[in-house]
Structure 1
Amino acid sequence: MTAPALIALAHGSRDPRSAATITALTERVACLRPDLRVEPAFLDLNEPSLDDVVDRLVAEGHGEIVVVPLLLTNAYHAQVDVPKAIEAARERHEGVGIIGTRILGIENAFFHVLDRRLRESLSDHRVRELDALVLAGAGSSDPVANALIARAARAWGAHHKLPTIAAFASSAPPAAGEAVRTHRADGRRHIAVGVLMLAPGFLPDRVTELAYEAGAVAVAEPLGAADEIAEVVLARYAVGAVDLVPLDLTFA
């Protein structure tokens, strides 16, 4: 029996680096599970769309599809856009099993990627000393999503035994520059910024610009196509694939 196909569903961006990163992440997933059909798709701004990928897979004979949303927080896109897109795909392909998993979220393994990206930036800028951190997320109008970033910042700071402020690229204060200036007002001078976003684009670039303007000594790249993230994609897929298996309620 053929395993369900896996669609890694990203939001999309006008920045071509973002789509390239999502494609690279999808390729890492496929390398980890060469037995699976793995495809990227985008909700908006990039091709292929979820509809296009589902149509192609169904035309090729795939009867089961698991959609893994590549989102770190459970904000509007996760609550509204993704379920709506998946439901529309189901309605268009009656009889095909199409299921969406929970989002990636922020797993402990992602902090290893954060550290690696930050070490790369520190090395590039020849920084040997840190006395404060900022952790920047995308930001949302949903306070629960922002609280998740704030909690991640506290955990990251506690691990490194450094004061850490959560910052946001949009929709909520403080911006990265404000967070850096808050540390500087407290006498900190060696402040680095981690970026808790998946792919490059306008928002990470804005974080970088504001942080350096405010005096940060290093700003990390986004998480990118890391093996740790690919493994979480597969973990979400595994749960979704099990959920597609019909329950046998026949009792002897």
Structure 2
Amino acid sequence: MTETAPEPPREPLPSGPGRSTAYTTARAADRPGPASRDGNRRPAHRVRATARPAAPTLVAVAHGSRDPRALGTALDLLDRVRELRPRLDVRLGHIELNQPLLPATLAAVGRGEAVLVPLLLGRGHHVRHDLPRAAGAASALRTSVAAPLGPHPLLVETLYERLTEAGWQDTDGTRRDTAVVLAAAGSRDPDSAADARRTAAMLSDRLGGTPVVPAYTSATAPDVPTALRALAARGRHRAAVAAYFTAPGRFATTAAAAAPWIAAAPLGAHPAMARLVLHRYDRALSGAAPARAARPHGELLRAAP
């Protein structure tokens, strides 16, 4: 049984460092017993450890890219996730172009439970169709599909820091000739465009009201050059390009090449991205999704604190 968690309208920032304590186990303890014939103490009895079930495997799902930097970026991001939650089984699968492909990753997990966390930034065909289909085909696993990473304040914070690294200064937001193009991959799904517009509005707020316009590198309009020309026609000649991509690749490179001023790096393995991956995983387990199908013995999955 698989299910896809819809994006809730508003979410708070996840609190704390994200380290799980859900599967801490008790250790066996010896109690001194009566003396034996040789004078040594023997344990009266041994208290057995009662281990809680292991947390479901987190399967991060990347799109895949012919750019070799994309795979390295995904692996670096998952290393950060493991640092935050060392006992969690974290694996990577791709929709296409890179190994391991998602079906192979799910087969390697074997039996048990898994949560698919898409390393995708909005709703679209992959989230709605490809991931549930792959999860359903893994018949030995009980699976759920988390919401995509965006929109979320942690994404916006990462975008802001990437712009700052590229040369953006807070005083730039006060200039009447400054703007930002949020360059995204694009999708024919209208919900995906709505997610990009919401992220653009949140980034505008973070930049003190600087205009932020979403634009796309495929599938839908406007494309990045068209958005830049429209801003220039409004007197916004000093436009930065914010890369709304999880990793380097052809789309990010094309968007950056169009920038008349500064172009930010993709989101990448930023620490906030690792926190967001775990946040989506926890939300999928905590009941933020619609009611799950009954588990054996009536048990429901719960998020680790």
Measure the CA separation in 2 of the matches of 1:42 and 1:135: 25
Measure the CA separation in 1 of the matches of 2:197 and 2:89: 36
TM-score (ref. length: structure 2): 0.72
Q: 1:164 to 1:100 in 2, by over 3 A?
A: closer
Q: Which is helix-richer, 1 or 2?
A: 1
Structure 1 contact 86–98 (Cα < 8 Å) conserved:
yes
Structure 1 runs not aligned, ≥5 long: none
Measure the CA separation in 1 of the matches of 2:201 and 2:54: 43
- Greater CA radius of gyration, 1 or 2? 2
Are 2:152 and 1:107 equivalent residues in the alignment?
yes
Are 2:246 and 1:198 equivalent residues in the alignment?
yes
Alignment of 1:139-218 (within 5 A): 139-160=186-207, 161-211=209-259, 216-218=260-262
Cα offset for 1:3? 1.7
Structure 1 contact 75–145 (Cα < 8 Å) conserved:
yes
Measure the CA separation in 1 of the matches of 2:275 and 2:235: 40
Measure the CA separation in 2 of the matches of 1:97 and 1:142: 28
Cα offset for 1:89? 1.2
Alignment of 1:4-153 (within 5 A): 4-58=56-110, 63-90=112-139, 93=140, 96-122=141-167, 129=172, 131-153=178-200
Classify the secondary structure of the residue corresponding to 2:253.
helix
Q: 1:127 to 1:97 in 2, by over 3 A?
A: closer
Measure the CA separation in 1 of the matches of 2:104 and 2:128: 22
Measure the CA separation in 2 of the matches of 1:39 and 1:69: 12
Cα offset for 1:75? 0.6
CA RMSD of aligned residues (A): 2.3
Measure the CA separation in 2 of the matches of 1:146 and 1:140: 7
Measure the CA separation in 1 of the matches of 2:142 and 2:77: 24
- The percent identity for this pair of structures is 35
Measure the CA separation in 1 of the matches of 2:198 and 2:241: 16
The amino acid that maps onto 1:234 is: L
Match of 1:229 in 2: 273
Measure the CA separation in 1 of the matches of 2:219 and 2:107: 35
Cα offset for 1:144? 2.2
Cα offset for 1:99? 2.3
Q: 1:190 to 1:128 in 2, by over 3 A?
A: farther
Per-residue CA deviation, residues 110-131 of structure 1 (Å, 9 max, x unaligned), is 11110110011117xx997462
